[in-house]
Structures are given as structure tokens and as C-alpha cells.
Amino acid sequence: MTTAGCDLLCIGPHTDDAEIALGGTLAVMAAAGRRTWVADLTAGELASNAEPEERWAEAAEAGRALGLTGRLQLALPDGFVSASDRDQVAAVVWLLRRLRPRWVVSVPEPRRHPDHLATPALVARAAFLARLPALAVQAPQVRWWRAEADGELAERWICEVVATTCLPDQTPAVIVDVSAGWEAKLAALACFRSQFRREAGRRPTHINDPDFLASIEDRARAWGRRAGVTHGEALVTDAVPVVADLLDGGWR
């Protein structure tokens, strides 16, 4: 039987998306010995600031800050991520069969960016198709950080849970207490100097406005208040927790 290759895989369109949306969860789970991976769908070639090489170097640094087991980057077209493009779906099917994650989480924010709107649909379609062995896929162009994932390409793979990070106006299915991982998340975000710092020569953007980092903190504190902890990250999924004892678990 094919076994899981990692415990949690976060898929975002661009480097820094996983850190912004799920960095605390990735850090907390890595510290608990879980195998955490990040996959960036594109090299971010349309970014307002920095070329893909600089962004990849920052992503590697952020990966270390979060204690990731691994990270990789596909070469889907930045700005044109699409769930209806057969080659893009096949690339993500390959990714899921190769990494064999138990949980996969995609990043739907910011909603004004078409790649973020498209990513959850792309991942959901690929997660369904990854379980169909009749669908054969070729290895796409991949850039690995550190080393390739252990194990071989599975003939089929079924993720236990497919989730997205929770938007402010949605009801979370689960809130992760990331208080213990918050420093690591901030350290990871600080690695993306080209994106978050409005230094000389950089174009002003939504995310290098100093208020942006404050908004990340505010969001985490709001989910944390809801959960009775300092900092939280929230997820949405159709999956539900199944328990034999309603008193078993941290319901709030």
C-alpha cells in the first residue's frame, strides 16, 4: 500500500502566500514533528517587485524559518492559473501523487487576484482526479528546495482532507492555535524583503504597505480570540471531525 509522503501540504500561487495564510500552522506542526511542505504553483514572474530568482531565494529562507520538510515550485503561468486548463490540472495531480499529503490546504486570498480565485478550484479538481488511476500524468517542470520528496509517484492518491484558508467573512471549520508558532511565522514573513519592505527602488504595492503586516496580526488575533488563544489561523473544509465523545476535543 502506498503511504503518505507528508502530513500537511499548503499550495499557493506565489511564494509568500503559504507564509501569509498558514505560516503559523506550518510552524506549529513542524515543531511537533509533522512533515510540512509548501508548493508554489508559479515562479511569480509577474510580480511588481523582484525577479523569480530573488523570490525563490527568499522562499528558501522562509522555509528554514518555518522548519518545512520541503518546498517546491511548479512553473504554471503567473496571472493565468486556471482550473480548466488540462495541463495545469495534470501538474497538480502529479504534485499530489508525488507528495502524497494527508491534508492539503490552498490559499484563496487575496480575492482580487485571479490566481488566488483559481487556486482552490484547481486544487479541488486535482485532488479528485488524483484518485483515478486511469488518468496518467507526466512530470511537470519542478524546482525543488533542498531535496526531492521521498518515495515514488503513486498510481493514485486520496487526500484525507482538502481545505482552504478561511476568509474573514466565512465561518471556520477549524481554528488552529498557532500562538506557539507566531514568532516563526513573523520570521518567515521577514524573509520576503522584496515583497513586504517598501525600500528604495521598489514599487509601492498593497503588501509592502506597513499596514499589511499589521492586518495579518489583527486577523490572527481575531481568530485567536474566537478560539480562546492568542493567535489563530482558520480553515474551511467540507470534512467534519468525527468523535465518539462530544466532550473529547477543544470546542469553543
Quick one: CA torsion of 215, 105, 95, 118, rounded to 10 degrees? -70
Rank residues 5 and 12 by Cβ distance to Zn ion and give the closer one.
12
Helix or strand holding residue 183 (H, E) = helix 182-190
Rank residues 198 and 206 by Cβ distance to Zn ion and give the closer one.
206
Rank residues 130 and 166 by Cβ distance to Zn ion and give the closer one.
166
Q: Is 55 in the site for Zn ion (CB under 5 A)?
A: no
- The residues in 7-46 that bind Zn ion, with binding defined as CB under 5 A, are 13-14, 17
Put the strands of the sheet holding 36-42 in their side by side order.
142-145, 70-76, 36-42, 6-12, 101-106, 161-165, 232-237, 174-177
CB of 56 to Zn ion, least distance (A): 14
Under the phi-then-psi rule, with left for phi > 0, alpha for psi from -120 to 50, and beta for the rest, what region is 181?
A: alpha
CB of 232 to Zn ion, least distance (A): 21
Rank residues 7 and 17 by Cβ distance to Zn ion and give the closer one.
17
Q: Coil, helix or strand for 207?
A: coil
CB of 4 to Zn ion, least distance (A): 27
CA pair distance 160, 28, nearest whole angstrom: 20
Rank residues 137 and 163 by Cβ distance to Zn ion and give the closer one.
163
Helix or strand holding residue 103 (H, E) = strand 101-106
Closest residue to bound Zn ion by CB: 14
CB of 8 to Zn ion, least distance (A): 19
Q: Nearest Cα to 71, choosing from 121, 6, 125?
A: 6
Evaluate the CA torsion angle 107, 36, 127, 224 in order and state its sign: negative
Q: Which residue type sits at 29?
A: M
User: Site for Zn ion (CB under 5 A): how many residues?
Assistant: 3
Rank residues 157 and 192 by Cβ distance to Zn ion and give the closer one.
192
CB of 12 to Zn ion, least distance (A): 6
CB of 212 to Zn ion, least distance (A): 13
Contact residues for Zn ion (CB under 5 A)?
13-14, 17
